[in-house]
Amino acid sequence: MAASVRHLLKPWTPSLCFARWSRYNPYYLDPDPSKDARVPDSELSPEQKELQELKTVRPIKAALSSDTSSPFNDPLISKFINMMMQDGNKILARGIMTQTLETIKRKQVEKYHRSPAAKRLEIECNPYTIFQKALENCKPIIGLASVQKGGKSYQVPVPLTDNRRRFLAMKWLITECRDNKHRRTHMYEKLSQELLAAFANEGNVVKRKHDLHKMAEANRAYAHYRWW
Amino acid sequence: IQSNGQQLEAVAVETASAEPNPLSVFRTSEQDPTYHSEGHTGQYYMLPPAHIQKLFPYGLPPRFQLQIKTFNEGCVMVRPPALELISYLKRADYSKPPLRYVLYGDIGTGKTMSLCHALHYCYTQGWLIVHIPDAHLWVKNCKELLPSSSRPSRFDQPIQASQWLKNFKITNERFLSKLKTTQRYVWTKRESTEKGQPLGELIDQGVNRMKSSSDVVGAVLRELRLQAGGATEGEGAFKLAVAVDGVNALWGKTSLKKEDRTMCEPEELTLIHNLRKMMKNNWAPVMICCACCIDLLKGLNIFALVLFPPPYLFMPSVFQEGFDSMEPFVPVSVSNYNEKEFESCYLYYLDRNWLQHPHSRSEEGKKELIFLCNKNPSILERLCAAL
């Protein structure tokens, strides 16, 4: 038993070394910083029980310094902050994110307070739910991949993984705000406008998603070029 | 704020008729600061929108103005330092030379808000208010610095002076026609203001002719000083309140440069010079000064070092000179929220639908908030804004 575990934890170098991928031995488990109330053992399914046991035995990777155990920590927001960050300036990126959330909340709460009581229930004031819903509305369902066949390359409609879809939505939001808006507005202002528009299914990012879907629909004939 | 006033009133009337709100724990219906007492500490009272437009076109902190716009109402918390100040103002003896009060405390503890609360009291009592919202704005980042038209060694700031005159006019409109000048002022070869003209004309002169606006400010302050004391007749009598926010700017260094690239001393700026004269207590009674500044005793604190370049905050000289000219004064300390006030603030944000994150509405979330902000009002406000 000990010999087999030792075998797994040998100094491990990946066979293919990518520039930005993690160097951890795949034996290591991901950390879970959240302080959930520990569900008693009787209520766990057998797989979850196995997982719990694994966590006590196996080594775990080190937690990132940007993750907190507080419930205010949101992995989606952290990912977005990382994508917005330039030159490693996380403080600036996080500041922009908090200002964006604040601006969204201010606009919505102002609308809430100025509207009559009947319409108040429809107005969504929580910036976190707005952010998640807006991101959902920006995620493409199907993507295009370039496949070369017979000397010509064709744009082939292809299913996307969840991570890829989330990445594309965030990337489009950020590039849209950086490039296509007026130069003198602040980033948080631009982001809040785009997010509120995406929440209502309007705006340039949602348009870009629709364009992608239309292209995929138009290239349906090449779908069989995909072999994976 | 100007356009908001009408909208505020319209919606306020609507909601008042729609929901007769049972008074929550953290609000008072007492809108007149005269009647605020210790029983009201920790409770929010509403500033009437008409008063906000008149009194505070520029005097409130910018984040509070945003808050007024978002919540559609301006609510101020009644806190002990403000109550103390108001009680001093009520009981002060107006036959003796004016008393000076200095609100001091750490960054973000609520000095400006306490000052505004006291000013609201003065306004409801019908005093004439001289309010400089931020003396730091007069001492740094001025775009135009003209050599003074009246005295060769001084410098003028036309933009700031005319801005202040406009705001002074909005706040004190009813006094402008009653007060008359006691002396003839000559601005240029062709322009002069005769003796006995109403103060309103003097101010118009300053607003229209930007070049002499700083001198007009000096003249206005002088008139007020001379007249506030003398009048015991029914009509002319008025009480004067002078409030300067950021009073340590009057004695520190400026960040302005003269034409030969040497630094300006605050002495050489007309506006600052006239203000300093106002702050002295050797003039006729019936005037009381309140002033507001960063903690003189603490010296350089970390936030200040980060936000302002060190040469600007030359605290030791401020300490000595400013202290000497302000002595004797009554210090009023402003500190962070205590538990009751924090509770009240938390409930207010909940009521205004400002705390949206589900965890912040739970008990543990509240404990986290207390830990993160240490009950400092401004830090709490910034934290809750993002949640």
Is residue B88 a part of any domain in this protein? Answer: no
Cβ within 8 Å, pair A72-B66: no
Is residue B261 a part of any domain in this protein? Answer: yes
Residue A75 vs residue B294, higher pLDDT: A75
What's the pLDDT at A135? 94
3-state secondary structure of B351: helix
Is residue B236 a part of any domain in this protein? Answer: yes
Closest CA–CA distance from residue B132 to any residue of chain A (Å): 29
The letter for the amino acid at A56 is T
Handedness of CA B369, B372, B375, B381 (dihedral sign): negative
Is residue A59 a part of any domain in this protein? Answer: no
Contact B115, B104 (CB under 8 A): no
Provide the token pair at B188: 């240029």
Contact A131, A101 (CB under 8 A): yes
- Averaged pLDDT in 10-residue chunks for chain A of 228 residues: 61 70 82 69 71 82 88 90 94 94 93 87 89 94 90 91 94 91 88 93 93 93 88
Is residue A8 a part of any domain in this protein? Answer: no
What residues make up the domain containing B261? 93-107+116-297+316-335
Is residue A158 a part of any domain in this protein? Answer: yes
Contact A96, A84 (CB under 8 A): yes
Q: Within chain B, what is the greatest distance between any pair of CA atoms?
A: 72
What's the pLDDT at A41? 60
Q: Residue B16 pLDDT more than 70?
A: no
3-state secondary structure of A38: coil
Closest CA–CA distance from residue A81 to any residue of chain B (Å): 14
Contact B45, B161 (CB under 8 A): no
Condensed to tens digits (0 to 9), the pLDDT of residues B42-86 reads: 888 888 888 888 888 787 888 888 998 888 888 888 888 888 888
Cis peptide upstream of residue B328 (ω within 30 degrees of 0): yes
Question: What is the dihedral angle through the alpha carbons of B7, B13, B18, B19, rounded to the nearest 10 degrees?
Answer: 100
Q: Residue B94 pLDDT more than 70?
A: no
Planar angle of CA B130, B133, B134, nearest 5 degrees: 130
Determine the average pLDDT of the residues in B262-287. Answer: 73
What's the pLDDT at B325? 72
Return the HEC string of A47-87.
HHHHHHHHHHHCCECCCCCCCCCCCCCCHHHHHHHHHHCCC
Residue found by looking up tokens 């003028």 in the block = B156
Is residue A113 a part of any domain in this protein? Answer: yes
DSSP result, B128-194: EEEEES-THHHHS--S--EEPSS-TT-EE-HHHHHHHHHHHHHHTHHHHTT-B-SS-EE-SSS-EE-
Q: Residue B294 pLDDT more than 60?
A: no
Contact B154, B273 (CB under 8 A): yes
Q: What is the DSSP letter of B104?
A: E
Cβ within 8 Å, pair A125-B360: no
Average pLDDT, chain B: 74
Residues 6+ apart with CB under 8 A from A98: B385, B386
Residue B52: Cβ within 10 Å count: 23
Contacts 24+ apart (CB under 8 A), B314-317: B314/B252, B314/B253, B315/B252, B317/B251, B317/B252, B317/B253
Is residue A46 a part of any domain in this protein? Answer: no
Q: How far apart are CA A34 and CA B114, in angstroms?
A: 41
Q: Which residues of B touch A106 (CB under 8 A)?
A: 66, 70, 385
What residues make up the domain containing A112? 74-225
Condensed to tens digits (0 to 9), the pLDDT of residues B158-210 reads: 888 888 888 888 888 877 777 777 777 777 666 777 777 777 888 888 888 87
Residues of A engaging B, defined by a Cβ cutoff of 8 Å: 70-72, 98-99, 101-102, 105-106, 109-110, 112-114, 116-117, 125-128
CATH code, B324: 3.40.50
The letter for the amino acid at B90 is K
pLDDT tier for residue B276 given thresholds of 50, 70 and 90: confident
pLDDT tier for residue B285 given thresholds of 50, 70 and 90: low
Cβ within 8 Å, pair B11-A113: yes
Length of chain B: 387
Q: Which residues of A touch B359 (CB under 8 A)?
A: 70-72
Residues of B engaging A, defined by a Cβ cutoff of 8 Å: 7, 11, 14-15, 18-19, 66, 69-72, 352-354, 356-357, 359-360, 364-365, 368, 385-387
Cβ within 8 Å, pair B69-A110: yes
CA-wise closest residue to B313 among B336, B290, B293, B292: B293
Q: Which residues of B touch A101 (CB under 8 A)?
A: 386
Q: Within chain A, what is the greatest distance between any pair of CA atoms?
A: 72
How many independent structural domains does chain B possess? Answer: 1
Cβ within 8 Å, pair A106-B353: no
Q: How far apart are CA B142 and CA B152, in angstroms?
A: 20
How many independent structural domains does chain A possess? Answer: 1
Is residue B45 a part of any domain in this protein? Answer: no
Closest CA–CA distance from residue A37 to any residue of chain B (Å): 13
Query: How, if at all, do strands B330-334 and B155-156 pair?
Result: unpaired
Provide the token pair at B199: 């103060």
The letter for the amino acid at A113 is H
3-state secondary structure of A199: helix
Cβ within 8 Å, pair B356-A128: yes
Q: Which residues of B touch A126 (CB under 8 A)?
A: 356-357
What's the pLDDT at A49? 77
The C-alpha R_g of chain B, in whole angstroms, comes to 22
Determine the average pLDDT of the residues in B99-123. Answer: 82
Contact B115, B247 (CB under 8 A): no
Q: Residue B226 pLDDT more than 80?
A: no
pLDDT tier for residue B138 given thresholds of 50, 70 and 90: confident
Go through A83-120 and write b for each residue having 16 or more CB atoms within 10 A of its CB, e for each that does not. ebbeeeeeeebbebbbbbbbbbbbbbbbebbbeeeeee
Q: Is the ipTM of this complex over 0.90?
A: no
Is residue A2 a part of any domain in this protein? Answer: no
The C-alpha R_g of chain A, in whole angstroms, comes to 23
Is residue B19 a part of any domain in this protein? Answer: no
What share of chain B has pLDDT > 70, as a percent? 76
> In which region does residue B21 sit, left (phi positive, over 0), alpha (psi from -120 to 50) or beta (all else)?
beta
Q: Residue B21 pLDDT more than 60?
A: no
Contact B104, B333 (CB under 8 A): yes
What's the pLDDT at A40? 58
CATH code, A149: 1.10.455.10
Q: Residue B322 pLDDT more than 80?
A: no
Cβ within 8 Å, pair B7-A114: yes
Q: How far apart are CA B54 and CA B121, in angstroms?
A: 14
What's the pLDDT at B5? 42
Query: How, if at all, do strands B44-47 and B192-193 pair?
Result: unpaired
